[in-house]
Structure formats: structure tokens, C-alpha cells
């Protein structure tokens, strides 16, 4: 029986200093760590190794390594600990840290379709903001058929510290559920309508006003709208903004049809429906660039030339829309900045006022959730022009 109890029979690729530390410590401990043996991968140096190498107690080493508490240890100790870290190639074990503190330094990000060019820059903004705090994003692409609730539950099990959600519908059960459970959530780009969960969005109403004003400025009077899916705040608000902007000019919509999705196909299909209605229009404001492109394709198919016969304005200023033919006039929104701000907002929530003052949970923020609204700008290109005389 005793023969099985040897200390770490094999050691591979472990710096010498480290294995020394291990051996010395072996004696002072309860029975040697047998669990150490057949691990999936050798584990690196631990805090105990650092402590021994630096000749201090674990606790002290831990303090020396935490920027927050670093100044509670003597300069000399800090130096020795740093040295040990370097010579043993120590990396903190976040799993252990997470288990102990309940914080994983990870956040969950839910996007509806990374393939939609709107989201990559947002993701970028999110990651860059997280990186400044040494945190990471666990990204999940919620494809059709996968429940965002299930994915979020898995992420909660993983211990994410909070969520950034770009999949919100206007009535979004997931957001409500997470919020009710006291989980920190920030919405980005789209938002639910509870008003209880913070969000970072573009000013969709203003965006549509820019588009409408532009066409009206050209002299267009008969303007139609290809609306986004009404279950998203973007679709809903842009449509409202469109109508509102027309109203300000004392105009009525020449027509408006909802698209089933933000896609080229849906845009083409919607334009076909609009055309079938036999309404007259000289300008079209689309809820998004993909829809605008679909519309252009459908018009072309019908022998209508953009912008000669009909002007079209998109929304988002996706990459390459300056290269399509005709180059698309569109409303540029701040994707990267939206992502960045959303992450910052979440970080603030995690460490900030709400962190300990209240216990989180529903109603934790009686003032109402923070909402950040970013300003879009119009980018005029070739798909819009004055109407034919």
C-alpha cells in the first residue's frame, strides 16, 4: 500500500525551482497530493509555490499579486513575489479564484447572427473594452432553433459575471428572466420595452429623420418605407421615426411594408410586395442596408433604375455598401462605439454603485436603467438623387 504513496513519481517540463518547492512542501502537508497524478494536463505553478519561492505565506503572495491590496505588503515582499512569478512562470488559476470569489472575469455575449456585418464591429468594441480590465467575452451566435434562454443558462453555469445581449426582441423573455434573477445585463443595438434593463442603442428616430429630410430636401414627396421586423425595437422605432419625420414635412407615407428579416432576400421580397400594391413613390427609406440592397435588386429586375427613377436610402453603413452599384446613401451608426459603451456600462454595473450598495435583483436601480443613445449621421452617396422632373 505504501508503495503507491510516493510523491509525484514523474515530473516533466517543470522548472527546477518549482519541483524543489513542491518537494519541500510535501513534508509539511497532510498526505501528499495523490490527485496530482493523471491530470489532463500538467498544472503550472500555484500560489503556494510562489509563496514558498518568495519565502512568505500564500496569503501574503496573494495580496502582493492583487493590485487592489498590493500596497498592504512591504516593497521587499512584493519584489520577491514578482520574481517568483517570473521564474516559475506563474499564472493565476481563475477557476479557483472564481470559485472562491464568485466572479469569473468573463461576460456572456449573445448575438443573433455574427455574419450580419452590423455585429462584428460591435463585438470588437465589446472585446476591446473588456480587455482593458483583463476580462473576456464568451460569444454565442444564436442561430435559429437554438434557444437563447438555454444558451444563457449554460453561460450562467459557466459563471459569467454578466451579459451583453444583442438579440433582444421588444418583448424579450430572456432579458426579463435574467433581470429578475438579479443578473447584470446590458442590451446593445436592440432593446426590450420593459425599460428596466440598460441599453446602448443608436437614435433610430433621428436616423430616419436624417434619411427623410435628405430625400425631401431633394424634392421627393412620395416616399415609401421598407420596415424592419416589428418585433425588434430597431424595426419598430425606425418605422415610427419614418412616419414622424414625414409628418413634420406634412407628408404622408406613400406606403410601408414590413420585412420578415434584415436580409437582402427579405428586402427584395418586401419591395416586390410594395410594387404589387401599385403605389407610386420616388423615394424609399429602408430600415437597413441589406434590405436596401434587396430593394435595389428587385427594382432592377423590374426595370426601375436607381437613383434615376427611384432614390433609396439605407441604414447602418455596412462595410462595402460604398462599393455596391449604385453606392448606397445610408445612415451611419456607431457600431464599434455601441459595443464599447455597452461593455463599459456593464463593467460599471459590476464594480460600481450597484455592486454592494443594493443587492442587485429586480428594482435594484430605482432611478430607472441607464440608456445610452448614440447619434447616427447621414452618408450621401449615389443611390439618392432629386426625383425626375
Partner DNA sequence: CTGAAAGCGCTAACAA
Partner DNA sequence: TTGTTAGCGCTTTCAG
State which of residues 6, 19, 24, 95 lies at the interface with a second copy (CB under 8 A): 95
C-alpha cell at 38: 493523471
CB 109 within 8 A of CB 122: no
The Cα 26–Cα 48 span in angstroms is 11
Residue in 331, 321, 308 with CA at minimum distance from that of residue 245 = 331
State which of residues 46, 168, 256, 329 lies at the interface with DNA (CB under 7 A): 46
The Cα 159–Cα 99 span in angstroms is 9
**H-type helices in 102-255, by residue range?**
119-131, 148-158, 173-180, 204-218, 233-248
Site string for a second copy, 262-301 (x = CB under 8 A): -------------------------------x---x----
- Taking CA atoms, 112 is separated from 57, 109, 169, 286, 316, in Å, by 48, 10, 11, 20, 16
Residue in 137, 144, 138, 135 with CA at minimum distance from that of residue 115 = 144
- In the region spanning residues 317 to 356, those forming contacts with a second copy, defined by CB under 8 A, are 318-321, 323-325, 355-356
Please state whether the peptide bond connecting residue 236 to the residue before it is cis, i.e. omega within 30 degrees of 0: no
Site string for a second copy, 170-209 (x = CB under 8 A): -----------xxx--------------------------
* Residue with smaller CB distance to DNA, 323 or 356: 356
Tell me: does residue 6 bind DNA (CB under 7 A): no
State which of residues 74, 115, 158, 325 lies at the interface with DNA (CB under 7 A): 74
Tell me: does residue 72 bind DNA (CB under 7 A): yes
**Shortest spacing between CB 12 and a second copy, in angstroms:** 6
- The residues of the shown chain that bind a second copy, judged by CB under 8 A, are 12-13, 38-43, 91-96, 98-99, 101-106, 114-115, 117, 119-121, 123-124, 127-128, 131, 134, 136-141, 143, 146, 151, 153-159, 181-183, 293, 297, 318-321, 323-325, 355-356, 359-361
Amino acid at each position: 500500500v505504501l508503495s503507491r504513496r510516493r510523491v509525484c513519481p514523474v515530473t516533466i517540463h517543470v522548472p527546477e525551482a518549482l519541483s524543489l518547492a513542491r518537494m519541500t512542501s510535501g513534508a509539511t502537508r497532510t498526505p501528499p497530493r495523490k490527485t496530482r497524478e493523471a491530470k489532463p494536463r500538467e498544472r503550472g505553478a500555484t500560489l503556494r509555490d510562489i509563496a514558498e519561492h518568495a519565502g512568505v505565506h500564500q496569503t501574503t503572495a496573494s495580496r502582493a499579486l492583487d493590485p487592489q491590496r498590493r500596497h498592504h505588503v512591504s516593497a521587499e515582499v512584493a519584489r520577491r513575489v514578482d520574481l517568483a512569478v517570473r521564474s516559475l512562470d506563474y499564472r493565476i488559476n481563475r477557476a479557483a479564484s472564481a470559485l472562491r470569489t464568485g466572479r469569473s472575469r468573463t461576460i456572456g455575449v449573445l448575438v443573433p447572427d455574427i455574419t450580419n456585418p452590423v455585429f462584428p464591429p460591435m463585438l470588437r468594441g465589446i472585446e476591446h473594452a473588456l480587455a482593458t480590465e483583463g476580462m473576456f467575452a464568451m460569444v454565442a451566435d444564436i442561430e435559429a432553433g437554438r434557444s437563447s434562454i438555454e444558451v444563457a443558462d449554460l453561460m450562467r453555469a459557466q459563471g459569467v459575471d454578466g451579459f451583453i445581449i444583442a438579440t433582444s426582441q421588444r418583448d424579450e423573455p430572456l432579458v426579463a428572466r435574467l433581470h429578475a434573477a438579479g443578473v447584470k445585463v446590458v442590451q446593445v443595438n436592440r432593446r426590450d420595452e420593459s425599460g428596466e434593463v440598460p441599453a446602448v442603442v443608436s437614435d433610430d428616430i433621428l436616423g430616419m429623420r436624417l434619411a427623410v429630410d435628405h430625400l425631401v430636401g431633394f424634392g421627393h414627396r412620395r416616399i415609401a418605407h421598407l420596415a424592419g421586423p416589428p418585433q425588434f425595437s430597431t424595426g419598430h422605432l425606425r418605422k415610427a421615426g419614418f412616419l414622424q419625420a414625414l409628418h413634420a414635412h406634412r407628408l404622408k407615407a406613400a406606403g410601408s411594408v414590413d420585412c420578415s428579416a434584415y436580409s437582402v432576400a427579405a428586402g427584395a421580397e418586401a419591395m416586390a410586395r410594395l410594387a404589387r400594391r401599385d403605389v407610386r413613390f420616388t423615394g424609399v427609406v429602408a430600415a437597413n442596408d441589406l434590405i436596401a440592397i434587396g430593394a435595389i435588386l428587385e427594382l432592377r429586375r423590374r426595370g426601375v433604375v436607381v437613383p434615376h427613377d427611384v432614390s433609396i436610402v439605407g441604414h447602418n453603413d455596412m462595410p462595402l455598401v460604398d462599393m455596391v452599384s449604385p453606392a448606397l446613401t445610408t445612415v451611419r451608426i456607431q457600431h464599434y462605439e455601441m459595443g464599447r459603451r455597452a461593455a463599459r456600462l456593464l463593467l460599471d454595473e459590476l464594480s460600481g454603485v450597484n455592486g454592494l450598495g443594493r443587492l442587485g435583483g429586480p428594482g435594484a436601480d430605482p432611478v430607472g436603467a441607464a440608456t445610452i443613445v448614440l447619434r447616427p449621421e447621414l452618408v450621401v452617396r449615389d443611390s439618392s438623387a432629386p426625383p425626375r422632373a
